[in-house]
Amino acid sequence: MGGSIEEVAALAGVSTATVSRALRGLPYVAESTRRRVREAAAQLEYVASPQASRLASGHTRTIGVIADLTGWVFLQVLRGAEAVLREAGLDLLLYNPGDDSGPFDALPLRKRVDAVLVPCPPLTLMEMRSLQALNIPGVLVGASVPGFPSVRVDDVGGARTAVQHLINLGHRRIGLISGEAAGDGSDNRETALSTASADRRRGYREALAAAGIECDPGLEAVGGFTW
């Protein structure tokens, strides 16, 4: 069993507060003192408590991820986020918003995480505002909601490129199957889903127009998202 912070302080000839600052890499600790503290900690096999360090710093070193685990896209984002956070020495707290049986409650996240990551938000706009009210830094993935930083793919350009490829192959009657538009009421919720549907439809129509092909609304259908 390793030694205590008091034993490290006694061996290094400093206060416990200096031990804490030295081991956390904080400023205003002489390099010679920092080295002496580290040597004492190594000799006593002292390991600082993560909980104590977090309380002292005021940071949880934990990032919350709000995701619906039923979709493969969410799992891919979760896998990537976990790898990056692990490399940075941060923890991940997974929060599943659940089904439509009740409103999402953002309050449990307060003081438990330093920031939140929301992949393809499975939340209503009202719930997103509730999350924003916690004043926790956050970023959306694959979505666009006013007031929230986001990371997205170029859905307009992607759809345009795909349609142009079909046109280059000689096709003229090209259909579009898209997901529901954000806030279209298809699931009885004013959702904060990405604007992917509208952007893809825009890219589709732009490619047709550029090729001189008249857009036929009868060739457009809503198929729902499968993420």
**Are 197 and 181 a contacting pair, CB within 8 Å?**
yes
The residue extents of the domains of the chain are 5-57, 62-151, 155-222
Query: Quick one: pLDDT at residue 189?
Result: 42
What pLDDT digit, counting tens, does each position of 83-114 carry? 999 888 888 988 877 655 455 676 677 778 88
CATH code of 62-151, in short, is 3.40.50.2300
Are both 62-151 and 155-222 of the same fold? Answer: yes
The answer to whether domain 155-222 has CATH 3.20.20.60 is no
Take residue 26 and report the two structure tokens written for it: 């904080």
Per-residue tokens: 175? 């259909």
d(CA 182, CA 202): 14
In this prediction, residue 182 carries a pLDDT of 55
pTM given for the model: 0.63
Record: fold of 5-57? 434 Repressor (Amino-terminal Domain) (1.10.260)
Per-residue pLDDT of 22-74, as tens digits, reads: 887 778 899 999 999 999 999 998 877 666 666 556 677 889 888 777 777 78
Q: Which of 5-9, 63-67, 166-170, 196-200 has the largest mean confidence?
A: 166-170
